Amino acid sequence: MNMAALESGRGVRLLNPEEDHTFSLDEDSMNQIFGRDDVKDRYVVVLSVAGAFRKGKSFILNFFLRYLNHKYNLKDNGDWLGDEKVPLKGFSWRGGSERHTTGLVLWSQPFLTTINGDKVAIFLMDTQGTFDSSSTVKDNATVFALSTMLSSVQIYNVSQNIEEDDLQHLQLFTDYGRLALENTSGKPFQKLELLVRDWNYAYEYPYGAGGGAQLLEKRLQLQNNQHEELQSLRRHIKECFEEIGCFLMPHPGLIVATDPQFTGTLADISSEFKTSLRELVPMLLAPDNLICKKIAGQLLKAKDMVHYFKAYMTVFNGSDLPEPKTILAATAEANNLSALSESRDVYEYLMEEVVGGSKPYLDQNSLEQQHERAKNKALHAFQAKRKMGGTDLESTYQDRLVKEIDEQYVQYRANNDAKKLLNFTGTPMILGSLVLLGLLLSFVGDNLGIRILVVIGQIIAVGAILTLGVWIYSRITGEMREIGVTIDRIMDEVRNVVMMKAVSSATQELTTPLADKKDS
């Protein structure tokens, strides 16, 4: 298997645990990953794996990486699991009893594809294992809540069976997001996939999604004789997610469990486990099965993820777990900020089209008209976005959008004025040189009595003077802009030809042997 594309990425810890049981956010890395030019305007698919520590979360994620690399980078229809002897690479993992992954770790290289004509970037997220000897309940709740709120598919990794404890932990971790987003339309989260590892009861429910669906239905079933608390727990989980699935995985084999030198090679993994991988991974990541991230019914782009990461980190980093209403406020802030950013981009795009860096000078009246047109388009885009937080918060961010647009207009106007005042260099210099050349040819032709040389000189001089007049008029008034641009382009070509001739002559002169010069 060609691993070059896979090895170009790495696990980047965006959320770092601190000694005082708070977390810090690596904003530089986050901006680099989500803000890339080829990524920032794409919708995002975020698949996260969470659950108890030392249960193989990073291990299973690397098979997701292998599939994504094969499917979206290599675009090969062969066996994506690859060579039996190739070690498992990607997210850092190891065997043993001590925790390995801390914080939230994102794979730095997104996988790019298209879904129904929309450009999409796929991200994988690894999470710190819960219930180790170093983490508090707040630490566990923070990591799980953040990964659930920021992912479109949350895989909840459990061991051997779905126990009542697993459901209670799931309720604890999703409480904040559910309550915080309860006033929004629809369910707060998208897909939950319970991944039962080392399933030992294949005689009851077979491995795979089919057996998992049967087990899940049994575990989430409401019964008349159940205590109200148990019924409430099950209703809570169903109310949190638009879709809930379950997958039963067999044990990966004795070598995986006991050999300290195990490197993840397929040859050392049981055939049943590999068969289940071939079902599980495409079920989540094949093109037809991808789920793009939504918050409050709005699809998120990669650049939006930055706003939500920052907003949630602000409220989760207190000494206590935040109140749900605080998270709701943070979500609303990020939601409006995302709408503002996208609308400001509309204004910038429209203005760059008419008065960007490569565009010629535009007269003030036309510039003002273009500004108002772009501003109205941006405001319409902002108002068309569905937002959270009510009309007061929306008005605050709309006022902020108007202020930022007006500040940008000041810059566009200054740059436009600079074109009028400072662009009298290249083109006028060449045209002025042509005027002088024409006059010189006329003078020489007149003295030598060569009439044709006088006529050619006069044509060059008059033509250059007229062209210069048209160019100056275009620059000063902003009218006849296309003609002015054409003149600039022609003069650039003339300058390039002259410079190439000069460089060629100088190079030939320098490379001519000294003896040849003496002979000449």
- 3-state per-residue secondary structure call for 412-457: HHHHHHHHHHHCCCHHHHHHHHHHHHHHHHHHHHHHHCCHHHHHHH
Q: Is the pLDDT of residue 98 over 50?
A: no
Whether residues 395 and 270 share a domain: the answer is: no
pLDDT of residue 251: 92
pTM beyond 0.85, yes or no? no
283: closest CA among 29, 21, 64? 64
Query: What's the count of helices (H) and strands (E) in the chain, helices before strands?
Result: 17, 11
Whether residues 387 and 367 share a domain: the answer is: yes
Specify whether the CB–CB gap between 61 and 126 falls below 8 A: yes
Q: Tell me: the pLDDT tens digits for 496-509?
A: 566 556 545 555 65
Whether residues 416 and 477 share a domain: the answer is: no
Whether residues 470 and 396 share a domain: the answer is: no
382 or 493, greater pLDDT: 382
Whether residues 58 and 102 share a domain: the answer is: yes
231 or 98, greater pLDDT: 231
Q: Is the pLDDT of residue 168 over 90?
A: no
In a domain, 91, yes or no: yes
**Mean pLDDT for the stretch of residues 67-83:** 84
* CATH for 352: 1.20.58.420
Q: Is the pLDDT of residue 320 over 70?
A: no
pLDDT of residue 503: 46
pLDDT of residue 173: 63
From the centroid of its chain, how far is CA 152?
14
* Structural domain containing residue 245: 4-322
162-166, 245-249, 352-356, range with greatest mean pLDDT: 245-249
pLDDT of residue 13: 87
In a domain, 102, yes or no: yes
**Mean pLDDT for the stretch of residues 156-167:** 88
C-alpha 295/C-alpha 305 separation (Å) is 11
Q: Which helix (H) or strand (E) holds 485?
A: helix 481-511
C-alpha 281/C-alpha 171 separation (Å) is 26
In a domain, 327, yes or no: no
Lowest mean pLDDT among 92-96, 403-407, 424-428: 92-96
In a domain, 300, yes or no: yes
484 or 435, greater pLDDT: 435
pLDDT of residue 497: 67
104 or 419, greater pLDDT: 104
In a domain, 520, yes or no: no
In a domain, 333, yes or no: no
**Mean pLDDT for the stretch of residues 74-92:** 82
Q: Is the pLDDT of residue 514 over 50?
A: no
When divided into structural domains, the chain yields a total of 3
Q: Which of 294, 322, 350 is the last residue of a domain?
A: 322
Q: Is the pLDDT of residue 441 over 60?
A: yes
Whether residues 481 and 349 share a domain: the answer is: no
Whether residues 214 and 102 share a domain: the answer is: yes
Specify whether the CB–CB gap between 346 and 381 falls below 8 A: yes
pLDDT of residue 54: 57
Per-residue pLDDT band for 325 (boundaries 50, 70, 90) equals low
Residue 266: both structure tokens together: 């397929």
Whether residues 239 and 388 share a domain: the answer is: no
400 or 493, greater pLDDT: 400
515 or 20, greater pLDDT: 20
pLDDT of residue 490: 79
134 or 106, greater pLDDT: 106
Per-residue pLDDT band for 347 (boundaries 50, 70, 90) equals very high
Lowest mean pLDDT among 27-41, 143-157, 185-199, 322-336: 322-336
Torsion of CA 36, 40, 44, 49, to 10 degrees: 40
In a domain, 152, yes or no: yes
152 or 497, greater pLDDT: 152
* CATH for 316: 3.40.50.300
Whether residues 291 and 189 share a domain: the answer is: yes
C-alpha 46/C-alpha 153 separation (Å) is 6
C-alpha 152/C-alpha 45 separation (Å) is 6
Lowest mean pLDDT among 61-65, 98-102, 318-322, 384-388: 98-102
Residue 503: both structure tokens together: 């460089």
176: closest CA among 136, 207, 143? 143
Q: Which of 370, 402, 422 is the last residue of a domain?
A: 422
Q: Is the pLDDT of residue 520 over 60?
A: no
pLDDT of residue 329: 73
pLDDT of residue 214: 95
**Mean pLDDT for the stretch of residues 1-30:** 73
C-alpha 156/C-alpha 48 separation (Å) is 9
Place of tokens 């002897």: 85
493 or 356, greater pLDDT: 356
Whether residues 281 and 200 share a domain: the answer is: yes
Q: Which residues contact 142 (CB under 8 A, 6 or more apart)?
A: 23, 316, 321
In a domain, 482, yes or no: yes
Whether residues 460 and 369 share a domain: the answer is: no
pLDDT of residue 64: 94
**Mean pLDDT for the stretch of residues 476-480:** 73
**Mean pLDDT for the stretch of residues 38-44:** 94
**Mean pLDDT for the stretch of residues 207-235:** 90
Q: Which of 422, 440, 475 is the last residue of a domain?
A: 422
Per-residue pLDDT band for 99 (boundaries 50, 70, 90) equals very low
pLDDT of residue 511: 53
102: closest CA among 19, 15, 208, 41? 15
Whether residues 445 and 417 share a domain: the answer is: no
pLDDT of residue 48: 92
